[in-house]
Structure 1
Amino acid sequence: MKVATYNVNGVNGRLPVLLRWLEEAEPDIVCLQELKAPQDRFPEKAIRDLGYDAIWHGQKSWNGVAILSRVGAIHETRRGLPGGEDDPQSRYIEAAVAGILIGGLYLPNGNPKPGPKFEYKLRWFERLIEHARTLIDAGLPVILAGDFNVMPTDLDVYKPERWRDDALFAPEVREAYARLVDQGWTDALRTLHPGETIYTFWDYFRNAFGRNAGLRIDHLLLSPKLAERLVDAQIDVAVRGWDKTSDHAPVWIELADKPKSRRKMPPQA
């Protein structure tokens, strides 16, 4: 099973790119972020014409998240994180698909820092951590996938010294991500590519993509039951070079149908 996350940076404006990628890459389940479309403007028909069911949580001009599936019905379980009943921002959607619980998220950017936006980011992160703990404690096969707007380590950012004061690289944000992962989640991309320089986002300015001056801010976190099934994790970097594309590239993982078999150790003499 192939599960992907993709910040499309405007689902309608970049619909040709999204449809081309879906047709070429053929992911089974996709989490989309930054739809920038109200609920009634999601391009449901175009996506269904490619064989995908969809649920989405839209918002006019900003934010917005969706889950697509071509491997079975999508059973929505949550829209928005607990504790955010008065939160107007559309940033989290959760559903059961093909025996897996998928949490699609778009964590706040938080800039400028310091300020209200940064404080909102930290509060939202704490709500995510609290909810993620309940998912881990339940022992379910879960994926948390999306744009986390955090570079976990220096290896995840081009010229980290330039980002020390940014809300995506602030010590408080990296510490929150570490606490989240320490619950028992596996950072799929970094686990299979330890020590490698890999990015998922390149700004539109200063030829960032051409210089490979990027950030790794799009992550797929796997609960223990799914971590045992992880066989591949990649970034479709070429998509970032397409015409009128998002500033993010799609990130995907491949899961085996069953946990990977472990090699048996020879008997001790």
Structure 2
Amino acid sequence: MRLATWNVNSIRTRVDRVLAFLEREDVDALAMQEIKCRPDQFPVEPFEAAGYRLAIHGLNQWNGVAIASRVGLDDVATSFPGQPGWAAKSEAEPVVEARALGATVGAASEARPVRLWSLYVPNGRELTHPHYT
């Protein structure tokens, strides 16, 4: 089974590149980060036409993760135990952002199924920034 991961930085802008990559590299399952869209905005049809099922977890234009699999996609989870939340202001209620998506892939193939996580980890800030906590 061929697995790949890609910070796509807006799937709606790069859908053609992603699909060309999947075909060229013969990828069975792809974990995508920074999709920058809600599930209803994700370009589902081109992936389905290429034989991929999708799990999508996104909120508006920030963050977002997805998994595309042509070898089965089961037991989808949009968070993990203890996943931290984030609040820009100390008095605000922390929100668990769309930064984690897990699924079991490979059940529809001859390969042994594996648990695949697409994780978009905060980046580009100082190590002391509260977002890292």
Q: Residue 89 of structure 1 corresponds to which residue in structure 2?
A: 97
- Give SS of 1:30's match: strand
Alignment RMSD (CA, Å): 1.7
Pairing 1:183-222 to 2, within 5 Å after superposition = none
**Change over 3 Å in CA distance of 1:104–1:114 after alignment to 2:** closer
Cα distance between partner residues in 2 of 1:72 and 1:39: 19
The structure with the greater share of residues assigned to helix is: 1
**Change over 3 Å in CA distance of 1:82–1:110 after alignment to 2:** farther
**Change over 3 Å in CA distance of 1:27–1:82 after alignment to 2:** same
Q: Residue 118 of structure 2 corresponds to which residue in structure 1?
A: 104
Cα distance between partner residues in 2 of 1:90 and 1:120: 14
Q: Residue 34 of structure 1 corresponds to which residue in structure 2?
A: 34
Aligned residues: 118
Residue-by-residue CA offset, 1:30-66 (whole Å, 9 max, x unaligned): 1000001112101111111100011010121111001
Cα distance between partner residues in 2 of 1:41 and 1:63: 14
**Change over 3 Å in CA distance of 1:47–1:120 after alignment to 2:** same
Q: Residue 88 of structure 2 corresponds to which residue in structure 1?
A: none
Aligned-residue offset at 1:114: 6.2
CA contact (8 A) 1:110 1:119 kept: no
Cα distance between partner residues in 2 of 1:107 and 1:64: 11
Pairing 1:71-86 to 2, within 5 Å after superposition = 71-76=71-76, 78-83=77-82, 84=84, 86=94
Structure 1 runs of 4+ off > 4 angstroms?
none
CA contact (8 A) 1:37 1:64 kept: yes
Cα distance between partner residues in 2 of 1:91 and 1:18: 19
Residue-by-residue CA offset, 1:208-265 (whole Å, 9 max, x unaligned): xxxxxxxxxxxxxxxxxxxxxxxxxxxxxxxxxxxxxxxxxxxxxxxxxxxxxxxxxx
Letter in 1 for 2:80: L
CA contact (8 A) 1:110 1:120 kept: no
Cα distance between partner residues in 2 of 1:45 and 1:61: 20
CA contact (8 A) 2:72 2:104 kept: no
Does 1:120 find its partner at 2:131?
A: yes
Structure 2 gap ranges (5+)? 86-93, 107-112
User: Could you tell me the TM-score, scaled by structure 2's length?
Assistant: 0.80
Does 1:9 find its partner at 2:9?
A: yes
CA contact (8 A) 2:5 2:31 kept: yes
User: Could you tell me the TM-score, scaled by structure 1's length?
Assistant: 0.41
Q: Residue 64 of structure 1 corresponds to which residue in structure 2?
A: 64
CA contact (8 A) 1:57 1:64 kept: yes
Pairing 1:212-251 to 2, within 5 Å after superposition = none
**Change over 3 Å in CA distance of 1:114–1:69 after alignment to 2:** closer
Aligned-residue offset at 1:108: 0.5
The structure with the greater share of residues assigned to strand is: 2
Cα distance between partner residues in 2 of 1:27 and 1:46: 15
CA contact (8 A) 1:33 1:63 kept: yes
